């Protein structure tokens, strides 16, 4: 992943130095497993433990060998001399690669879980802060009925919690190792070695494997990352809409020296939110590649290998970065409550149409008749028949309406607070404590 979208913690996890060091960790544990069975002398193990990663030498060998694992092994064997014959005993490359990859994914997962928890905490705090802040709810982009900004944010809370659950489950699926030899039969390395290595690494042995661990695990993980990204995209898209000039209800942070456009000095663009939406598309593409990697020839091929060198580091790195950006957006979000109130009043009371229709039905009018009467008066407002007239004024002037509802009753129905009656219930369901 390019440096622009890489946080230092994730860069270290996926660095080549860390990858090869993890390969070495697996190889040393396999040697220790053999030593426990008496297959490697104690003095040889002591010598093998002195081996260290030398990337420069490994790269020199790879120019000739054209095989990274062979180059890795030759680099180690050069350091330990004759005892090098015990390194990689009974193994195939995938034993090392897949088991080490599980460790790197676990480390990346820990970083992702921490970043997700930090974002969730910020959204929870914002939801509580704006629990009772009235604003217009929109369906199809059109004013619908009042809601609260806190309720909108609580939906994000619920989605992020589901994301946490999915991420934990997919990481658990990835937490397996395989030390089973060529085609996975254990013919050259007994199951006891696999069990020892995995226990030392905090992994479970794959119950059964071919020469590789089943790639449906990796596909589930990458699909989960894409789904978390989709949740972030949903949040970012909402922030983009709320920042539109015609809406202007909530804004991502904008620094004192920040510039929004190279041409127009007045611009304050939703560039963070747009960036997240774009990167979410990339995550989804990686998930498709991961699903295509599930189908391999017989006991293995390496059609998955080249793509995984890209999609696993890039996906985890991208999502980690996206979580960081979204946290900065939520933590620094600027909310214009006055504009929210202005937008509530923008349609001159049309947003109370359903409540008035229901009141007419409750007073004895048929549903279709009530709907058409209310719609007829609403259309007068849409057409601007009297630019100063409110929806309620048209209703009060309609005898077919006032036969069932008095003007004072109509006034009482136009109360946005009515729509917040059950916000507390939903916050209680989420376990969100009130700011008081």
**pLDDT tens column, 235-259:** 999 999 999 999 999 999 876 676 6
Mean pLDDT of 117-131: 97
When the pLDDT of each residue in the chain is averaged and rounded to a whole number, the result is 94
Alpha-carbon span 323 to 325, nearest angstrom:
5
Alpha-carbon span 435 to 131, nearest angstrom:
9
Mean pLDDT of 396-423: 93
Of 140, 266, 298, 388, which residue is the catalytic one?
140
Backbone φ and ψ of 226, nearest 5°: -65, -35
The encoded tokens of residue 405 equal 């509802």
What is the per-residue pLDDT for 255? 67
What is the per-residue pLDDT for 256? 65
pLDDT range class, residue 435, cuts 50, 70, 90: very low
**Is 52 exposed, middle or buried, given 0-12, 13-18 or 19+ CB atoms closer than 10 A?**
exposed
Mean pLDDT of 25-52: 96
**Residue of 172, 134, 26, 18 lying closest to 87 (CA atoms):** 26
Backbone φ and ψ of 249, nearest 5°: -100, -30
What is the per-residue pLDDT for 260? 65
Mean pLDDT of 284-289: 96
Decide: 146 and 135 in contact? Cβ < 8 Å.
Answer: yes
What is the per-residue pLDDT for 434? 62
Catalytic residue check, 140: yes
Angle CA 341–342–345, to nearest 5: 90
What is the per-residue pLDDT for 268? 82
Catalytic residue check, 320: no
HEC per residue, the chain = CCHHHCCHHHHHHCCHHHHHHHHHHHHHHHHHHHHHCCCCCHHHHHHHCCCCCCHHHHHHHHHHHCCHHHHHHHHHHHHHHHHHHHCCCCCCHHHHHHHHHHHHHHHHHHHHHHHHHHHHHHHHHHHHHCCCCEEEEEECCEEEEEEEHHHHHHHHHHHHHHHHHHHHHHHHHHCEECCCCHHHCCCCCCHHHHHHHHHHHCCEECCCCCCCCCCHHHHHHHHHHHHHHHHHHHHHHHHHHHCCCCCCCEECCCCCCCCCCCCCCCCCCCHHHHHHHHHHHHHHHHHHHHHHCCCCCCCCCCCCHHHHHHHHHHHHHHHHHHHHHHHHHHHCCEECHHHHHHHHCCCCCHHHHHHHHHHHHHCCCCHHHHHHHHHHHHHHHHHCCCCCCCHHHHHHCCHHHHCCCCHHHHHHHCCHHHHHCCHHHHHHHHCCCCCC
Residue % of the chain over a pLDDT of 90: 90
Alpha-carbon span 338 to 248, nearest angstrom:
10
The encoded tokens of residue 218 equal 């990796």
Domains of the chain listed by start with CATH number: 1-89 (1.10.275.10), 92-257+265-338 (1.20.200.10), 350-413 (1.10.40.30)
Of 67, 261, 303, 306, which residue is the catalytic one?
261
What is the per-residue pLDDT for 338? 97
Mean pLDDT of 59-64: 95
Question: Which tens digits make up the pLDDT trace of 201-239?
Answer: 999 999 999 999 999 999 999 999 999 999 999 999 999
pLDDT of 265 strictly over 50: yes
Mean pLDDT of 258-285: 85
What is the per-residue pLDDT for 385? 77
What is the per-residue pLDDT for 303? 87
Question: Which tens digits make up the pLDDT trace of 155-186?
Answer: 999 999 999 999 999 999 999 999 999 999 99
Q: What is the pTM of this model?
A: 0.93
Mean pLDDT of 333-350: 95
């Amino acid at each position: 992943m390019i440096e622009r979208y890489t946080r230092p913690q994730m860069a270290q996890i996926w660095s080549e130095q860390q990858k090869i060091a993890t390969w070495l960790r697996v190889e040393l544990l396999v040697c220790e497993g053999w030593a426990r069975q008496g297959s490697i002398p104690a003095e040889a193990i002591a010598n093998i433990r002195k081996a260290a990663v030398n990337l420069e030498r490994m790269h020199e060998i790879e120019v000739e060998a054209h095989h990274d694992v062979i180059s890795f092994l030759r680099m180690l064997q050069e350091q330990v001399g004759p005892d090098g014959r015990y390194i990689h005993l009974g193994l195939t490359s995938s034993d090392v690669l897949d088991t080490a990859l599980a460790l790197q994914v676990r480390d990346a997962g820990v970083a992702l879980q921490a970043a997700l928890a930090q974002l969730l905490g910020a959204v929870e705090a914002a939801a509580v802060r704006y629990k009772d802040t009235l604003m217009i709810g929109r369906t199809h982009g059109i004013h619908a009925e009042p809601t609260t900004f806190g309720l909108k944010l609580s939906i994000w809370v619920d989605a992020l919690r589901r994301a946490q659950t999915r991420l934990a489950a997919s990481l658990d699926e990835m937490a397996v190792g395989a030390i089973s030899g060529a085609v996975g039969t254990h013919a050259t390395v007994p199951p006891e070695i696999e069990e020892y290595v995995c226990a030392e690494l905090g992994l479970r042995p794959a119950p059964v494997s071919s020469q590789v661990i089943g790639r449906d695990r990796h596909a589930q993980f990458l699909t989960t990352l894409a789904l978390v990204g989709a949740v972030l995209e949903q949040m970012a898209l909402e922030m983009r809409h709320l920042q539109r000039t015609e809406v202007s209800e909530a804004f991502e942070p904008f620094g004192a020296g920040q510039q929004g456009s190279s041409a127009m000095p007045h611009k304050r663009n939703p560039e963070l939110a747009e960036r997240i939406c774009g990167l979410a598309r990339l995550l989804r593409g990686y998930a498709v590649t991961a699903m295509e990697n599930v189908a391999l020839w017989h006991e293995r091929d390496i059609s998955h290998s080249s793509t995984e060198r890209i999609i696993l580091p890039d996906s985890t790195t991208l999502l980690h970065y996206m979580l960081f950006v979204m946290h900065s957006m939520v933590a620094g979000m600027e909310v214009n409550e006055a504009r929210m109130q202005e937008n509530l009043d923008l349609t001159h009371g049309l947003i109370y149409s359903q409540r008035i229709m229901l009141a007419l039905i409750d007073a004895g009018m048929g549903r279709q008749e009530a709907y058409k009467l209310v719609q007829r008066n609403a259309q007068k407002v849409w057409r601007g028949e009297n630019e100063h007239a409110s929806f309620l004024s048209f209703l009060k002037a309609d005898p077919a309406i006032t036969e069932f509802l008095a003007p004072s009753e109509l006034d009482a129905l136009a109360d946005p607070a009515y729509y917040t009656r059950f916000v507390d219930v939903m916050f209680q369901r989420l376990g969100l404590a009130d700011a008081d």
